[in-house]
């Protein structure tokens, strides 16, 4: 059973994951508007992953006997000056999320909630990957600089990213339960 404090902290983090999804979806539409469809596609996959991060957390809250609350999501910005600025924000954002996940681990430890601590390890590991991928994408975009041909090549390369559900996560659990 989750403590009130742990339950609330998980609901708040799920809200931050939903905000991440909104942010990347907004970036995806921005890239679509400037006809960079590979970057738009990369962001759309990222937005989908963040939605899954939020749902996985709320699913856990329910399975641990808590109450899942889907809180209001702040609206993200809608325009960036360049791919460099947008991907720079992704990198900053992911580092900030890592800090939030580590604080959440701190709450689980303070609450002596071993089950939640163990559940959160997936997010700790995921953040290592998230930082790594946002770092490599930012480096690619920075290396392209203002060279249109290099940016086009980077756009094409990022367009190959595909979406994968985390192992064990069910997007539509109620459908399969019927």
Q: Which is nearer to ligand FEO, 51 or 151 (CB)?
A: 51
CA distance 168 to 171: 10
Of the candidate residues 13, 15, 31, 50, the single one contacting ligand FEO (CB under 6 A): 50
CA distance 137 to 116: 32
Q: Which is nearer to ligand FEO, 17 or 155 (CB)?
A: 17
Measured at the CA of 82, the angle between CA 79 and CA 85, to 5 degrees, comes to: 85
44 binds ligand FEO (CB under 6 A): no
Q: Footprint of ligand FEO on residues 2-21 (CB under 6 A)? A: 17, 20
Q: How many CB atoms lie within 10 A of CB 99?
A: 10
Cβ contact 127:7 at 8 Å: no
Distance of CA 128 to the CA centre of its chain: 12
Q: Which is nearer to ligand FEO, 113 or 130 (CB)?
A: 130
Residue closest to ligand FEO (Cβ)? 53
90 binds ligand FEO (CB under 6 A): no
Binding site for ligand FEO (CB under 6 A): 17, 20, 50, 53, 94, 97, 130
């Amino acid at each position: 059973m989750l403590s009130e404090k742990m339950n609330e902290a998980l609901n708040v983090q799920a809200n931050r994951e939903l905000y991440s999804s909104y942010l990347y979806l907004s970036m995806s539409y921005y890239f679509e508007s400037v006809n960079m469809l590979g970057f738009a596609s990369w962001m759309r996959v990222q937005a989908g992953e963040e939605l899954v991060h939020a749902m996985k957390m709320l699913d856990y809250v329910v399975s641990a006997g808590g109450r899942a609350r889907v809180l209001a999501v702040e609206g993200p910005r809608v325009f960036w000056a360049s791919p460099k600025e947008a991907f720079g924000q992704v990198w900053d954002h992911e580092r900030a999320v890592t800090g939030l996940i580590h604080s959440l681990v701190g709450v689980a430890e303070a609450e002596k909630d071993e089950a939640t601590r163990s559940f959160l390890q997936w997010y700790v590991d995921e953040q290592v990957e998230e930082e790594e991928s946002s770092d490599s994408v930012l480096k690619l975009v920075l290396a392209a600089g203002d060279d249109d041909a290099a940016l086009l090549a980077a756009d094409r390369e990022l367009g190959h990213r595909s979406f994968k559900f985390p192992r064990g996560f069910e997007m539509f659990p109620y459908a399969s339960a019927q």
